[in-house]
Structure 1
């Protein structure tokens, strides 16, 4: 096993660890871990809510989830010799749930969860159809996920970090905050909000204290969106065997990671939509000097996908176009067409006995594939959702007989907003 450079004790909260990570982006958060190009090492990661979500049949914890506290990230990790303008190579050598802990109160100890936030607390991709809070618990066994809340489904996880990235420079941080505040100002009372501005509440900033802590807490960017540094990209194929090339904006690059997922469908459409868990990552790093200019990577990471995806060979695909549920035509709106494709899949799965929220949870957690199938044929964008048929314990494809009716069981826990 590689050296554990960022250890986490499951018996302690994130802020009580020997090395404390962070939940904001800022160049002045000190790196307490240092590695060299060519090193391989292990990083422990806590699930993004640090144990606030529980393995039970209530969705109250999702309804009241402490969003200002996320994501709890392991890092920053400084890479010797990395300088602004370089590319940081990160190889994901292995990634998985918390090792040797297959039961316990923390997500990653043999289980994980998928949630839908209430609209007032962030909502989801289909928040107009699902405005309340919901939760599904998934159990892990031999790399396969099953759920008491969504019967008749099992699938192999594509384990991956939802979030990984390098620290921004001061100039880049100012750019983020200015452009996101300008967006908020266009509709400041919108629910859910258009963006999340800096918020000192619940900020975790590594070893910073005193006046430095207060200043950074006021300035630091929230970790919710993906940005030029990588960040919360939620790419399901960024998994074991992947090689990522991150732009470097500060000395040492200051790499951080977290928000591990046991599985996820393309788009993470329920927002808390992967199977969230804690776990570990084994990584290797190297540096390409001057790589940002050499390869034209001025912003945003590029990566080589891993090769360990489950080998599903049969799919049922649903399509959607950029027309609203009310019949309004939109011009090449791929976001809308993907929503419509997802809604068509939900309608279909309800014919097999699932509730609408059970179907929604399947699309969020299972390794579905989302594709932009047509973006030039005015006025309609066409998006498609590919659902692997082998994840179901019954025949889910259309036939001449009546659809199989699954016993939906107790259903998905809900907390009304």
Structure 2
């Protein structure tokens, strides 16, 4: 018998804002955000998602929306989804939740996305000291391919020549669609650990850091705030909402629960083994990407889009203790395991740019891979600039940039 079609457990209406959805979205991590759906292990289900800004970025050539975007509102996530086994017994703290990505893609009728770099005064980014102004490019999808009117020849980088459906000579490239964020809800104790360590980082400031201070442009941490907070089914501005909003963790960094992992290969056929910290696991996902390199150089460096995931879950009882080794003072200091699927565009030609641990002022740094990576990226941007691109075009088209091979890294 053919398998059943996936059951839609979270549906979004792109004509409505995130807080207007029938099934409320959320943009924070907190154990008390109630689940909006329940699924059983082995069941194929579908989750729809708005883009990470909830529709704040428009399909036009202006970067004004990027410059003024309210970053306290992101990322908008679909869920939480409670997971139970075939007997109706919920996932329990200490279990592992194995989440398989069976299918994914853009939402029908919304086959476009965007890349951008944020303004120095509102978000910044990896290269803000070189690119202080907001920029944006719109990308259109044709099956597995993407092209941008703002960057008509971007694919010269990887030597794939074609013609856009507008009939103009140009190039396009195959993407590898994936969710930027997928994770489980934290426990109260894990949430306390997050907030304490991130608050300490913010309070001590950049002077306390021994590495990477030359790339510090953005806030050191995004601490809990009621501004822009969306907590699913919790009624806004009630005493309960106020309490939770002041505790709830932002979705910006990846953490022990998974979260904002931004792994470009997390596509069809992949499995994520997520630690379970609360009953039911409370799985959430969002921040869909049509494509991304090994990092988001411009901060908003993936091709951001709305989209869907079709998933199946399994519960591995007591899996945290069996498979995850704590890397910290408590058993909560663990990280997910990602099993990458077999799907990936096939490229055979590469340009390699070297970076060393010396910043633009000529200062030597010790074992600083971030400074070295920054130098390699700047070398790539300057090289492609010689072939007729603007440096801003190269920056926001770096959706297939990969970083690898730290060798002889003595200084």
TM surpasses 0.5: yes
Aligned length: 368
Match of 1:377 in 2: 409
Instruction: Kindly state the Cα deviation for residue 192 of structure 1 after the two structures are TM-superposed.
Output: 2.5
1:216-254 CA-to-partner distances (Å, cap 9, x unmatched) read: 011101000001100111110111110110011111111
Any idea what SS the aligned residue of 1:121 has? Answer: coil
Matched, 1:171 2:186: no
Instruction: Kindly state the Cα deviation for residue 368 of structure 1 after the two structures are TM-superposed.
Output: 2.4
Match of 1:258 in 2: 286
Match of 1:95 in 2: 104
Q: In structure 1, what is the Cα distance between the partners aligned to 2:188 and 2:306?
A: 30
Any idea what SS the aligned residue of 1:293 has? Answer: helix
Match of 2:19 in 1: 15
Q: In structure 2, what is the Cα distance between the partners aligned to 1:156 and 1:177?
A: 39
Any idea what SS the aligned residue of 2:384 has? Answer: helix
CA contact (8 A) 1:291 1:297 kept: no
CA contact (8 A) 2:126 2:217 kept: no
Residue number among 329, 337, 356 corresponding to 1:302 in the alignment: 337
Residue number among 247, 252, 257 corresponding to 1:224 in the alignment: 252
Residue number among 206, 209, 212 corresponding to 2:232 in the alignment: 206
Any idea what SS the aligned residue of 1:275 has? Answer: strand
Matched, 1:185 2:217: no
Residue number among 66, 69, 73 corresponding to 2:73 in the alignment: 69
Alignment of structure 1 residues 234-273 onto 2, 5 Å:
234-273=262-301
Q: In structure 1, what is the Cα distance between the partners aligned to 2:147 and 2:115?
A: 12
Instruction: Kindly state the Cα deviation for residue 10 of structure 1 after the two structures are TM-superposed.
Output: 2.0
Which structure 2 residue ranges, 5 or more long, are not aligned?
A: 85-89, 156-171, 208-215, 327-333
1:45-72 CA-to-partner distances (Å, cap 9, x unmatched) read: 1001111111111100000011111111
CA RMSD of aligned residues (A): 1.4
Instruction: Kindly state the Cα deviation for residue 342 of structure 1 after the two structures are TM-superposed.
Output: 0.5
Instruction: Kindly state the Cα deviation for residue 373 of structure 1 after the two structures are TM-superposed.
Output: 2.1
1:365-403 CA-to-partner distances (Å, cap 9, x unmatched) read: 2x22211422x5321xxxxxxxxxxxxxxxxxxxxxxxx
CA contact (8 A) 1:23 1:204 kept: yes
Q: In structure 2, what is the Cα distance between the partners aligned to 1:68 and 1:112?
A: 21
Q: In structure 1, what is the Cα distance between the partners aligned to 2:46 and 2:33?
A: 21
Any idea what SS the aligned residue of 1:353 has? Answer: coil
Any idea what SS the aligned residue of 2:32 has? Answer: coil
Match of 2:49 in 1: 45
Match of 1:349 in 2: 384
Alignment of structure 1 residues 398-413 onto 2, 5 Å:
none
Q: In structure 2, what is the Cα distance between the partners aligned to 1:12 and 1:149?
A: 27
CA contact (8 A) 2:176 2:344 kept: yes
Matched, 1:55 2:64: no
1:144-184 CA-to-partner distances (Å, cap 9, x unmatched) read: 11111112122101000001100001011011111111111
Instruction: Kindly state the Cα deviation for residue 188 of structure 1 after the two structures are TM-superposed.
Output: 8.4
Match of 1:278 in 2: 306
1:350-375 CA-to-partner distances (Å, cap 9, x unmatched) read: 11111111111222x2x22211422x
Q: In structure 2, what is the Cα distance between the partners aligned to 1:339 and 1:312?
A: 24
Q: In structure 2, what is the Cα distance between the partners aligned to 1:343 and 1:282?
A: 38
Instruction: Kindly state the Cα deviation for residue 20 of structure 1 after the two structures are TM-superposed.
Output: 0.4
In structure 2, relative to structure 1, the CA distance for the partners of 1:377 and 1:57 (3 Å cut) is closer
CA contact (8 A) 1:120 1:191 kept: no
Residue number among 360, 384, 388 corresponding to 1:325 in the alignment: 360
Match of 1:387 in 2: none
Instruction: Kindly state the Cα deviation for residue 297 of structure 1 after the two structures are TM-superposed.
Output: 4.3
In the TM superposition, structure 1's runs of 4+ consecutive aligned residues that sit over 4 Å from their partners are: 188-191
Q: In structure 1, what is the Cα distance between the partners aligned to 2:303 and 2:324?
A: 35
Q: In structure 1, what is the Cα distance between the partners aligned to 2:204 and 2:131?
A: 25
Larger CA deviation: 229-238 vs 292-301: 292-301
Q: In structure 2, what is the Cα distance between the partners aligned to 1:206 and 1:142?
A: 33
Match of 2:397 in 1: 362
Match of 2:319 in 1: 291
